[in-house]
Each structure stands twice: as C-alpha cells, then as structure tokens.
Structure 1
C-alpha cells in the first residue's frame, strides 16, 4: 500500500485546481461526510434497538434515569 499524501501536499493539489473544481471537491467531501455520519447514526440505532430487544438497555423517562443513577450511589 502506498503512503498517503501529507496534508500540505493535498492542500497544494487542491489549490492547483480551478475554482469550480475546488467547489465541486468541497461539495463532494461534504456529501460523503454527511453520508458517513448517517451510516454511523443508523448503526447506533440498530445497536440500541438490539440492546433493547435483548434486555441490555433500559427504557424510561428522565426521572427514571435519575432515580436509577441515584440508587447506585
């Protein structure tokens, strides 16, 4: 596997692009980050639902959470 380019090298490559290409690159990076975050949220939701189904997670109100936390002290 090749060594990744340094941040400075990437900046220089981006600066060599036209304004339109830079704008397109920024939009592409933004969309990819949003999609990655959506995937993380979906994965967390699936894990939470599985924890609820298997009894590893509790459901309740904020008052229930406070009572549970304070009862451990």
Structure 2
C-alpha cells in the first residue's frame, strides 16, 4: 500500500474513526518512545556498571563531543 493509498483510506473513515485512529497512533508512538528510553537507560546502567561510562560536567561532555566531531 502506498502512502497516498493510506491517506485516501484514512480520509474515507468517519471523523470519529479518524480521531480514534490518531489517538491510537499517538499512544503507540508514546509507548515506542518509552521503550527506546528504557533501552537507552539499560545501556547506560550497563556502561556505568562496567566502568565504561564517561562522567563529568556539561562542559566536559561538550568538550568531549566537540573533539569527536573534529576527528
């Protein structure tokens, strides 16, 4: 199904069905983002536990990232 076909199908729905669809999509996007955040947090916890996490102030992080960009 092409993107345009999806748009056409959505436009064929009633206003109420469109609202339910948009709410469902919004909730799923939120849940997916929560899952991504949880996965990132697990990676950070593992890095801290392994001693490979870089710690410091905002300025330390900024300097570190700027140096990486220049390489």
Which TM-score band applies after superposition, normalised by the shorter structure? 0.7 to 0.9
Q: Which of 27, 32, 35 is residue 31 of structure 2 equivalent to?
A: 35
Equivalents in 1 of 2:24, 2:34: separation in Å?
Answer: 15
CA offsets 1:3-60 (integer angstroms, 9 cap, x no match): xx11100000000000000000000000000000000000000000100100111223
- Name which of structure 1's ranges 51-60 and 33-42 shifts more when overlaid on structure 2: 51-60
TM-score by length of structure 1 reads: 0.78
Gapped regions of structure 1 (runs ≥ 5): none
Gapped regions of structure 2 (runs ≥ 5): none
Aligned Cα root-mean-square deviation (Å) = 1.7
TM-score by length of structure 2 reads: 0.80
- Which stretches of structure 1, 4 residues or more, deviate above 6 A after TM superposition? none
Aligned pairs, number: 64
1:9 — aligned with what?
5
Matching of residues 1-73 of structure 1 within 5 Å: 5-63=1-59, 65=60, 69=64
